[in-house]
Amino acid sequence: MRDISKRRYLIAGIITTLIFVLGLMLGLVIEGKRLEVSQAGSEKQRLELGSLQLQYAYIDQLAQERNCNALAVNFEKNVNTLESARARLEDYYNGASVNKGDFEFIRRDYLIAQFNYWLFARKYQDLCKASIVTVLFFYDDDSRCSTCSDEGFILSYLKSVFGDKLLNFAVYGRYDSEPMVGIIKGAYNVTSYPALVIQDEKHEGFVGRDELKGYICASLNNSHSACST
Alpha-carbon distance 114 to 102, whole Å? 19
Per-residue pLDDT of 159-202, as tens digits, reads 989 988 898 888 999 888 888 899 999 999 999 999 999 998 99
What percent of the chain clears pLDDT 90, i.e. is strictly above it? 28
Q: Between 206 and 19, name the one with better pLDDT.
A: 206
What percent of the chain clears pLDDT 70, i.e. is strictly above it? 55
Burial of residue 87 (number of CB atoms within 10 Å: 0-12, 13-18, 19+): exposed
CB 217 within 8 A of CB 227: yes
Amino acid at 33: K
Q: Which CATH architecture has domain 30-129?
A: Up-down Bundle (1.20)
Rounded mean pLDDT of 40-64? 61
What is the tally of helices (H) and strands (E) in the chain?
Answer: 6, 4
Cross-strand bridge partners of residue 196: 137, 203
Alpha-carbon distance 225 to 227, whole Å? 5
Q: Average pLDDT, whole number, for the chain?
A: 75
CB 59 within 8 A of CB 70: no
Per-residue pLDDT of 73-102, as tens digits, reads 666 666 666 666 666 556 655 655 545 666
Domains 30-129 and 131-229 share a fold: no
- CATH of the domain spanning 131-229, picked from 2.40.30.10, 3.40.30.10, 3.40.50.1000, 3.40.640.10: 3.40.30.10
CB 166 within 8 A of CB 135: yes
From residue 9, alpha-carbon distances to 17, 18, 22 in Å are 12, 14, 20
Which of the four pLDDT bands, split at 50, 70 and 90, describes residue 62? very low
CB 42 within 8 A of CB 110: yes
Rounded mean pLDDT of 27-42? 55
CA–chain centroid gap for 137, Å, is 11
The pLDDT score that the predictor gives to residue 111 is: 82
Provide the residue ranges of all domains of the chain, joining segments of one domain with +.
Answer: 30-129, 131-229
The pLDDT score that the predictor gives to residue 118 is: 86
Rounded mean pLDDT of 1-23? 52
Whether residue 7 is predicted with pLDDT greater than 90 in this model: the reply is: no
CB 205 within 8 A of CB 194: yes
